[in-house]
Every structure is written in C-alpha cells, then in structure tokens.
Amino acid sequence: MQNGNSGNNYTTEDRDTNKRGYNSGNYIMIAGFQVKPVYFYIAVAAAVMLLVAFVLSLLQAKLTLHFGLIAGILLLLANVRELLGYTYGQHNSTALLNCIVGASLFFAWLTAFGALFWLPALALIAVAIPLVMGRTSVYSTYVQFGRSAFNSIRRAIGR
C-alpha cells in the first residue's frame, strides 16, 4: 500500500482529470471549472430555449401592434363610407363608434414610434365609451359638435 491507495500504483500526482483514469470521468474545462459534458449540453439547450423565447416575445409584440393597425384600418375603411355616405339622414352611431375605435387603434400602433401618441389613442377611447352607453343622445351631441367645429374652421380659413 503506497500513499493510501490500496496498492493500485495511482498517486494523486499522476491523475489527470481531463483523461479517463482513476475516478476522473470525462470533464470539460470551462473558465477553470470542471463540468461534465451532459451538464454543459443541458445548459446550452436551456440558453438556446431562453434566446428563442425572447426573440419570439419580441416578434409577438410587433405582430400584435401590426394586427391592431390592420384592424383599425379595416374599421375605418368599412365605416367611414357608411358614416358619410348613403344613409346621411339616419343615425349611424355604430359606424361612428367603429371609426373612433379604428382611429384609436391606429394611434396605438403609432406609439411604437413615440409614446406621445398614447394621448390621442386614450382620448379617442374616452370619447367612444359614452357612445357605447347612450348611443342616440351622445351621437347627436357628437355630430353637432363636429358640425360646429367644421363650420368654425371653414370660416377661419375662408377669411
């Protein structure tokens, strides 16, 4: 028995942890630490999955913004013609509501370029909420306000 090794002729100086030998295993050296390859591969797979999840979350945020833009444009295109067009004398509170929500979605999309666009988006939603509650009276009030604003702008420009 030499140096307490039961006579197997291995000494602590002879062992190399990077080669197969007495109780050494197969290790990878990373930053001065010995790591088994299985744990290294698990860590790499976890890092790749986290990276993929991060990239997908960024893409989902952008896709969500673009989806809101497309929905807003469709609402505007489908309802502006109805609001201004063929049924001029009838109450078109649904068309007005859809136009307001579409414009709000458009401004929400513009917030990707600047946070200041949240102001008109939130203002338009605040204007749309009373229209949902009491359609006829609020619609007539909004139409009268719009007409008076348009007339005053037309008079200011016409002078």
> What does the pLDDT look like over 59-109, one tens digit per residue?
777 777 777 777 777 777 777 766 666 555 555 677 778 888 888 888 888
Looking at every residue in the chain, the average pLDDT score rounds to 76
Give the SS3 label for residue 12.
Answer: coil
Q: Which domain holds residue 154?
A: 58-158
Q: Which amino acid is at 3?
A: N
pTM score, two decimals?
A: 0.48
Report how many domains make up the chain. Answer: 1
Residue entry with tokens 């744990």: 39
Is residue 24, in this structure, part of any structural domain at all?
A: no
Tokens of 104: 């709000």
Q: What are phi and psi of 139, to 5 degrees?
A: -60, -45
Closest CA to 65 of 9, 5, 107, 128: 107
Give the C-alpha separation, 112 to 104, whole Å.
14
In a domain, 93, yes or no: yes
CA distance 40 to 33: 11
Between CA 54 and CA 46 the distance in angstroms is 12
- The answer to the question of residue 145 being in a domain is yes
